[in-house]
Every structure is written in structure tokens, then in C-alpha cells.
Structure 1
């Protein structure tokens, strides 16, 4: 960032990186990637291909948000599996005789598990192709796959390589690029999504007022792709507040099966409303239930349309009617990022580096990658 970066108490580089997302999405949606697209077209034509979406932490949650949309769009087997799971248990997740396209997400591509996962796939899978989506063309993952016949590297706009601690524009640019290359996103969606995100940005004072309540725990609920969004939202709050705010995530139906025990008067629940009318019924049920148990202000609903009479108010993002939840997740994410940032500021944290003593780092350190030996399986 330049000398104009705000002070930490004003949001630092993080607030700029959240705010730049509408323009980034417009740029990403206009981009053409003919070399990558040609390989993907050939690979996904195969009816037996398996597609694995992988990354660590927030990058893993990109896969959780995108998988169902890609499965519907391609009519192929698509699974989100974290690199951290694959590295620890490669023989549980990699199928040697199944042709596989591995889509790897990495802000820097320097996390130890990122490169190890693709190397394990190369060693264990007979037919393997790689699509690397990264924000750093000089990262280890990009360098390892550049120029390979069975790999394509697609770099995000340079400014998305967030200098702040938490992944914000890096995450959303990789998600949108994945949905452009393999899913339902089109060039026109860039403007629609950017406009909705600008609406969220115009509500910063309202989101800051939510943060000012300084609730001790935040619960995020969403179904399908929006459960991946809920998990990312919980992580963003946990990261930026350096663990001072307890966070939970679940689906609206799953929440009743024990996790609902966390609810008390010091809890704020965020419900991400699904666009599918059938799924939306379950959102309405949990909204009514929690508002009845606590009060109306204990639940914040982010939606593409107003709630029916009797269910209270929602934050309504315009122009998203009929879009897949994987696309709707993008502007919903901007809400989650602002809420986490403003809550961190309320707790006196430095958002660009919530852990100044280095207990948690921007790129994971201290991971030993062990060689795969005969496991007896």
C-alpha cells in the first residue's frame, strides 16, 4: 500500500482492500483466459472426470461456496476438499484411477500444504490436471505449475494480493474467477455483483453500529453454498478480533441439533438468506425461532429480497434476484468483512496485523511436510 493507507484505528489497508472489491470484480468479470479455458473445456467434456476444489483456511472455503454451482453447471462430480485434509490423509481423498482436475486456490501460493497437495496428486493420480488460481504470480504454487502441459495458472489482478492479514479481495476475486471459468458466472454478472457490493459499502455506518454493540459471540448461519460463506464469516471475525469474539457457524437446520446452546443475550446471529424458495423456508423458520427466543435485534438477516410480513427486517441487497447462491455469496461476503473489521476496531485491534507478536501469521509457518511412505492400506 502507499503512504495514503489509513491508520490502523481507521481500518488500515484492510478497509481499502474490502472497498476495492466492486472494481476488482468488474475487472475480473471482463477478463478472458483463452489458454486456461481451452484446457478446462477439453477436461470437463470427459464424463468420468472428478473436480477437486482445494485450498487452506479461507481458500478452502472458496471451494465450499463454489462446488454445488459448478456441479450443477457442468454435470460433473465436484468436491471441495481442503489441502490440510489431503496432505494429512492423501489416500483417503485422492483416487488413483479417477481422472482428476485439481483447482487450487491460494492468495500467495506459499502455504506449505498448497504445493504439497499438487505434488501428492501428481504422484498418486494416474491422470491429473491442475488449475491454479492465485494472487501472486511469483508464489511457490504459481512457479511450480507455470509452463507445465497439464497445468494452467491464472493470476488475479495484482492489487488483490492483500497486504492485510485477512483474505478479502483475494478470496472474492478467486471465487468469481472460478465461477467464470467453470461455473455460471458471465461477464454481465460483474456489474450486478459490484453494484450490490457498493450498496453494502454505503451501509458502513450501520454495520459499524452493529459492531458497536460488542456482542461476545457471533453466530453465522447459511445453507448450501451459504454455509461455506458462514464458515468464512466466522473465521474472518475470529481472525480480525484476534480471538476475542467467539464465533460459530452452521446451517439453519443443523443449528438446532446442539449448537443452538450457545444462544444467550450476548449473541448476535447473522442469517444469510438463500435465493432458492424451498431452502428459504428453512431460513425463515430459524429467523422466527431465534427472534422469538431472544429479540428482533439479536438476528441480522442478509437477503436478496424483503422478508415476508411477520418475520422482521432484513438487509436487502439489490439486483440479485434469481442468481445462484454461489454468486450471491460475493456481496454477502463484503458485509461479513466490514462487520469483522469494525468489530476488531471496537476491540482496539490492529486489523492489518491482529497478532503483532506473531502467534498467527499471514502465511502459515511451522508446517512440516512429511514424505508419503507405505501406510499399509
Structure 2
């Protein structure tokens, strides 16, 4: 990093860093918005059940979770938890993959499918194109659209369809800052609650966990890591937490305007070549699974990298402290028994805060890290080409 880091502050409005008003607020409002999301889902439960019950009753149902960028990570984080909760085949496919390779993504034309689309704005060209391709290639496709924008193209296109259900987050979740923070977690929470109901352990504890996390000296811990002036970061995890690692790396790249490079991988996969990314100025965050078996692999790579890198370069983010040194562990309060998909919800706040602090340290404006428009809040420059089958 090029400049001395600017330490983050608490929730007091007067302490908001310049150029970070939206991002600062949108990170810290998440526990409140999650509570609002749960209230909204409770009110919509009868309508949701009426829409979903006939679909979920079919044992052949395939559920596809889709989105682009951060929205794609929402599906990847939720996938295994929703497969266990529904007993159905659940896949996470990015809209960018669907649009580029529709026949590869929708090979079984006759298999009934529920396409769950995550979209902050609903205005990305791939969002609508993915739903249209699913309709074109599948005999039976229903749509659950989870979005933050009731005026977006995706919500408008599916709002009146009987084979679609548009589920809206609280309006404040449509982040006004560049990076997706509240939008990601509200949409992820909505999917886990809607399709997982009470079958995802720890889901009901997420808001209280995030509140407790933000009440601690989290910003001091984060600033201590960014002050090491790392040139690059590595995020590692397994299963749902591998997807969280991917989102964490993306957030750091976005908010620093690419000034800090970041890599994400699985705890086991990292040794197979990507470990070459390490240098003496690399910071590492390892997300530690709550699953007893998976956790062993996360602890192995954490211990290996702690021994290999200078002190203070490696931290663990975990729901429980067993097997971890206190000084290098960022605990997620109240999530010791949570499913990893639920654990990811409050845990991602650490990644968001780290990206924000690193952005300020680099002299970048977090709310708009690309003032010249080379990267945009809603993707631009995409041409969706007509698709025809032989």
C-alpha cells in the first residue's frame, strides 16, 4: 500500500471517513436490515409457500442459484446448505456462464428447474438474459427473483408472471456505494430463509452476531492487519467459506481500485500452485469451517502459513476458538454451532471492513473507487448475442 492507513471508526456518524459515507453506512446497517428482511419474509411466507410448495414437491426439481460477481457468490455460499435443507439438486451457476454457454448449463431440457436469480439492481444485461435463456432451453422453468430494486428490469419482467415470484429486500439494501455489501447479505439471507426455513443452523443468530461484532474493537483489529502495508492478500476457506473467500478477495480488489491484489482459493487447493502468490508482504485470512471434518483442513493451512509468514500476517476468522491462537483469531460471536452458510453472513463484515480500511489506506475513495468509469457499479459494455438452437 502506498499511504499510511486511515483507521476505521465506530458507528458515530461524525466519524465517517471522507468519501466513504455510503460504504461506511451500508456495512453497519446490515444487522438492522437483516431483521427487517426476516420480518418481510414472515409476512410473505404464505405467498412464498404457495409458489414454492408445488415445485419442491417434485423430487426431480433442480434448483439453480445464479447471479454475476458478488451475486454469484451469494449462490455459491448458499448452495450446500440449501441442498441439505431441500433434499433437491442445487447448483450455483453464474449468469455470465449461463449466457456464454447456455446449452452447457441447461443440458436436461425436460428436468423441472427453479432458477433463483440474485440481482442488486436487476439492470445487468446478463441477469435478464439468463432468465430468458432458461425459458428458451427448458420445458419447465419457474423463477424466484431476489432483488433490491423493484424498478429494475429483472423485477419488472417477472413481476406479472404466474411462474415467477419477485422477492424484494428492504430498499436500503440497494447499496449506493460502488461495492455490494448490504445487498449481498440481504439477498443471501432471503434465499437461506426462503428455501431453508428453520433447517439452516445459526441463521436466526446472524443479526445478533453482527451487532456484537460491530460493537467490539473490530476496526482496530482490521487496521492492525492493513497497517502491515501488504501488497497482496490471500483469502482461503472450504465449502461455503471458499465462496466467501472469493467474495472477500473481490471486495478488496474493488474498494482499493485494484491497488491491492487479492487471491482466493480453497484451503486444500491453495498448495497446488496458487501458493506461489505468497511473498513477505502478503496478508492471509483463513475462514475456519464449523464442520469438524472440514475444519481440520482449514486449521492445517492456517498453521502452515502462520509458521511460514512473519508474525501478524495471518489471521483466522472463526465461529469457535478451538485449535486457534487467541491473538491471531477474529471470532464471529454466537456462531459456534452455525452452518457455514449462516456463519458467512456475519463473517463477511470482517472482509468488508478490511476492504474499506485498505481503500482508505491507499488514498482511494471507497464510494467511487473508479472515478474514470473503467469499472462500473452496474456492468456496462456487454452485448448479449441472440441464441438459436439447431
Give the TM-score normalised by the residue count of structure 2: 0.91
SS of match in other structure, 1:261:
helix
Matched, 1:144 2:148: no
What is the CA deviation profile of residues 64-90 of structure 1, one whole-angstrom value per residue up to 9, with x for unaligned ones?
Answer: 000000001111000000000000010
Match for residue 132 of structure 1?
145
Question: Structure 1 residues 275 and 190, CA, compared in 2 at 3 Å: closer, same or farther?
Answer: closer
SS of match in other structure, 1:297:
coil
Report the aligned-residue RMSD. 1.9
Matched, 1:68 2:80: yes
Give 1:300's match in structure 2, choosing from 298, 310, 315.
Answer: 315
Give 2:263's match in structure 1, choosing from 245, 248, 264.
Answer: 248
Question: Structure 1 residues 39 and 5, CA, compared in 2 at 3 Å: closer, same or farther?
Answer: farther
- Using the alignment, how far apart are the partners of 1:309 and 1:284 within structure 2? 8
List alignment gaps of at least 5 residues for structure 1. Answer: none
Cα distance, 1:6 vs structure 2: 7.4
What is the CA deviation profile of residues 16-60 of structure 1, one whole-angstrom value per residue up to 9, with x for unaligned ones?
Answer: 000000111111122222212321122011100100000000000
Cα distance, 1:303 vs structure 2: 0.6
Within-5 A mapping of 1:280-291: 280-291=295-306
Match for residue 48 of structure 1?
60
- Using the alignment, how far apart are the partners of 1:271 and 1:119 within structure 2? 38
Give 1:22's match in structure 2, choosing from 26, 31, 46.
Answer: 31
What is the CA deviation profile of residues 235-291 of structure 1, one whole-angstrom value per residue up to 9, with x for unaligned ones?
Answer: 000000000111000111000111111111100010001000111111111111111
- Using the alignment, how far apart are the partners of 1:173 and 1:48 within structure 2? 29
Matched, 1:59 2:68: no
- Using the alignment, how far apart are the partners of 1:232 and 1:282 within structure 2? 20
Match for residue 10 of structure 2?
none
Cα distance, 1:190 vs structure 2: 6.2
Within-5 A mapping of 1:143-182: 143-182=156-195
Stretch moving more, 303-312 or 31-40: 303-312
Match for residue 18 of structure 2?
9
- Structure 1: which 4+ aligned runs deviate by more than 3 Å? 4-8, 184-191, 309-313
Give the TM-score normalised by the residue count of structure 1: 0.95
Give 2:114's match in structure 1, choosing from 101, 104, 128.
Answer: 101
Count residues with an aligned counterpart.
Answer: 372
Match for residue 223 of structure 2?
208
Give 2:47's match in structure 1, choosing from 35, 38, 46.
Answer: 35
Within-5 A mapping of 1:209-358: 209-308=224-323, 313-358=328-373
- Using the alignment, how far apart are the partners of 2:119 and 2:23 within structure 1? 18
List alignment gaps of at least 5 residues for structure 2. Answer: 1-12
